[in-house]
Amino acid sequence: MTAVVDVTGRLRKMPAEPDQPIQYTLKVGDTRLPLNDLIGRAIQIDYDGVIRCIHCDRKTKKSFGQGYCFPCFRKLAACDSCIVSPEKCHYHEGTCREPEWGETHCMIEHVVYLANSSGLKVGITRGTQIPTRWIDQGAVAALPIVRVSTRQLAGFVEVICKQHVADRTNWRAMLKGGVAELDLAAERDRLLDLIRPELDALRQAHGEVAIREVDEAGLSLSYPVQVWPDKVKSHNLDKTPSVTGVLQGIKGQYLMLDTGVINIRKFTAYEVRFQVLA
C-alpha cells in the first residue's frame, strides 16, 4: 500500500486547541500533522529502536519521566518527585534542583479543579495550563474550585480533597466514551463544604489571599471520535514496534485505532516513522 504521508522523527506530546471538537496536531520531528483530518484513514507507526532525550538529545535505551534520559531525570526539577507529589515541594528549604525553574513553574498561581473524565476527580495545574491539562486527561467537563499562590499549596489542598474525591482517571473507561454527566458546580459546593475546616487552617498558616475559593464557570469539551471502542486494547511500541490501524478518534493523549489505542505521550522521545496509507 502506497503511503501518502511518510515522515520520520521523535514523537512529542500532542498539542491540542480547544474547539468543537478539540483540534489535535501530531508532532513527528519537525513535522506537524493536523490529526483531525486523518480520522477514518489507515495509519502506521514504526518505532526504529532509538530514544533520544527531549532535554539533552542523548541516546538512551529507556525513557524516564516520559522522554528523558536517566541523568536528566535525576537532575532536572521537572522530573523531581515533588512534581508528582507537589505537597512535598522543598523549594523553601533551598534544595530545589533548579531554583529558577521552580520560580517560574511552581512559585506561581495554581488551580485546584474538579473534572469529569471517567467520573469525578480532583486535580491541580498551573493557571496557564487551563484547559490544556483538562484536554490531556480526556475530561468532558471541568471547572476550577480553588486558586492558590504556589504549587505546594495546591498539593496541600489536593491531599485534603482526596479524602472525599478520586484523584485518578480510569483511562480505559475514559476511552470508552459514554461518561455520565455530572453537575460539577454542585459537586464543587459539596466538596468545599466538606473541606472548609482544613482550608481555614491552611489560610491561617499561609494567609487569606494565598488560598481563594472561586465560583467560576466550567468548560465542556468534546473530542474528535467517530467510533468508541467496545474493548480497550493498548498498543506498546516497546513490545510491538509496528502499529497499524484505521484512526477512529483522538482523546486525551491517545490515538484510537480499530486495532487498539496508543498513548502518544507515553512514547515521547521515541524515533518513529509515521505513515498515512492510501
Percent of the chain past pLDDT 90, that is, above it, reads 97
Task: Say yes or no to pLDDT of 247 above 90.
Answer: yes
> How many domains does one find in the chain?
2
0.85 surpassed by pTM? yes
Which of residues 172, 205, 220 is at a domain's end? Answer: 220
What is the C-alpha to C-alpha distance for residues 155 and 269, in angstroms, rounded to an integer?
28
pLDDT confidence band for 52 (50 / 70 / 90): very high
Task: Say yes or no to pLDDT of 1 above 80.
Answer: no
138 φψ region: left (φ > 0), alpha (ψ -120 to 50), beta (else): left
pLDDT for 178 equals 87
pLDDT for 100 equals 96
Residue type, 116: N
Co-location of 143 and 187 in the same domain: yes
Q: Is residue 250 part of a domain?
A: yes
For residue range 181-224, what is the model confidence (pLDDT) as tens digits?
Answer: 999 999 999 999 999 999 999 999 999 999 999 999 999 999 99
Co-location of 139 and 186 in the same domain: yes
Residue 256, CB-side half-sphere exposure with 13 Å CA sphere:
26
pLDDT for 2 equals 67
Q: What is the separation of C-alpha 275 from the centre of its chain, rounded to a whole number of angstroms?
A: 25
String of DSSP letters for 68-110: B-HHHHHH-GGGSHHHHSGGG--GGGT--SSHHHHHHHTSS-E
Which of residues 184, 203, 220 is at a domain's end? Answer: 220
Closest CA to 223 of 41, 24, 32, 37: 24
Co-location of 254 and 202 in the same domain: no
Q: What is the DSSP letter of 215?
A: -
Q: Hey, how many other C-beta atoms are within 10 angstroms of the C-beta on 8?
A: 14
Co-location of 268 and 166 in the same domain: no
For residue range 54-112, what is the model confidence (pLDDT) as tens digits?
Answer: 999 999 999 999 999 999 999 999 999 999 999 999 999 999 999 999 999 999 999 99
256 forms beta bridges with: 249, 261
Which residue range forms the structural domain that includes residue 207?
A: 108-220
Co-location of 238 and 213 in the same domain: no
Grid cell locating 60 = 538512551
